[in-house]
Amino acid sequence: EAGVVQSPRYKIIEKKQPVAFWCNPISGHNTLYWYLQNLGQGPELLIRYENEEAVDDSQLPKDRFSAERLKGVDSTLKIQPAELGDSAVYLCASSLAPGPYYEQYFGPGTRLTVT
Amino acid sequence: GNSVTQMEGPVTLSEEAFLTINCTYTATGYPSLFWYVQYPGEGLQLLLKATKADDKGSNKGFEATYRKETTSFHLEKGSVQVSDSAVYFCALSRANAGGTSYGKLTFGQGTILTVHP
């Protein structure tokens, strides 16, 4: 069974440029998460989807970040414009359903460097 | 709010040494507790979990016991191997269904473990 797929694995952009990250969850997983992981820190939730609905986006900086999950399968996270402080690893995870009894499976992440 | 605190790292051990990584938490209610491991170049993987007080999670020789009285979930292994070198994250998740934060994982800052032959 394929795991969570993310692309690209690495991205280097100049500040003020736009960037997008893509995630394909495990087949059949209805819940999808985007996490931000700063260097030396644990991941922090940005947004959670149940199917195509964003049910928790309280931590998403909506002035520059946006996300979508069309058709309730793969998802895209976008930053426009990027700032130096956005340099981090962006992790996608999926689970069969929400809640602590359903394991979250993580992708390898996209490492973003903003120069 | 919910939070997780892990012991400061990095931790460096010789092969076959005993490992303890401390984790304490602050949460309302009775959360579920997890240890995740991140090997170099790979994504986070669930190592073990416990969903109620006094539960012991175990996997691959690692163990952790959910201690409500001390709000702790310390990770232990009796004999570490070089292949255990990784970053270890303690995390919690709210156990009560409902609400937008249901299922949200709150992580500690991670502890880097290096095991030498």
Are residues A99 and B107, on separate chains, in Cβ contact within 8 Å? no
> What's the residue count for chain A?
115
Per cent of chain B over pLDDT 70 is 94
pLDDT band with cut points at 50, 70 and 90 for residue B95: low
Residues of B within 8 A of A24 (CB-CB) are none
Measure CB to CB from residue B105 to each of A41, A45, A107 and give the nearest one: A45
Tell me phi and psi for residue B84, to 5 degrees.
-85, -5
Residues of B within 8 A of A104 (CB-CB) are 46, 103, 105
Three-state DSSP string of chain A: CCCCEEECCEEEECCCCCEEEEEECCCCCCEEEEEEECCCCCCEEEEEEECCEEEECCCCCCCCEEEECHHHCCEEEEECCCCHHHCEEEEEEEECCCCCCCCCEECCCEEEEEC
The answer to whether residue B2 scores a pLDDT higher than 70 is yes
pLDDT for the residue B29: 79
Among A91, A95, A114, residue whose Cα is nearest residue A103: A95
pLDDT for the residue B28: 81
Residue B101 per-residue DSSP state: T
Residues of B within 8 A of A99 (CB-CB) are 93, 95, 97, 102-103
The answer to whether residue A27 scores a pLDDT higher than 90 is yes
Please answer whether residues B62 and B76 qualify as being in contact, where contact means their C-beta atoms are separated by less than 8 angstroms. yes
| Separation of alpha carbons A97 and B90, rounded Å | 21
pLDDT band with cut points at 50, 70 and 90 for residue B86: very high
What is the overall mean pLDDT for chain B? 92
What is the overall mean pLDDT for chain A? 94
The answer to whether residue B101 scores a pLDDT higher than 80 is no
What's the gap in Å between the CA of B92 and the closest CA on chain A?
8
**Contact residues, chain B to chain A, C-beta under 8 Å:** 4, 31-32, 34, 36, 41-46, 49, 51, 89, 91, 93-95, 97, 100-105, 107-110
Sheet order of strands, A65-68 included: A5-7, A19-24, A75-79, A65-68
One DSSP character per residue, B9-56 reads S-EEEETT--EEE-EEEE-SS--EEEEEEE-TTS-EEEEEEE-STT-E
Task: With H, G, I as helix, E, B as strand and everything else as coil, classify residue B8.
Answer: coil
For the stretch B31-40, pLDDT in tens is 999 999 999 8
> What's the residue count for chain B?
117
The stretch B109-117 carries a mean pLDDT of 96
The stretch B15-24 carries a mean pLDDT of 97
The answer to whether residue B102 scores a pLDDT higher than 90 is no
Among A68, A3, A97, residue whose Cα is nearest residue B97: A97
For the stretch A83-112, pLDDT in tens is 999 999 999 999 998 887 888 999 999 999
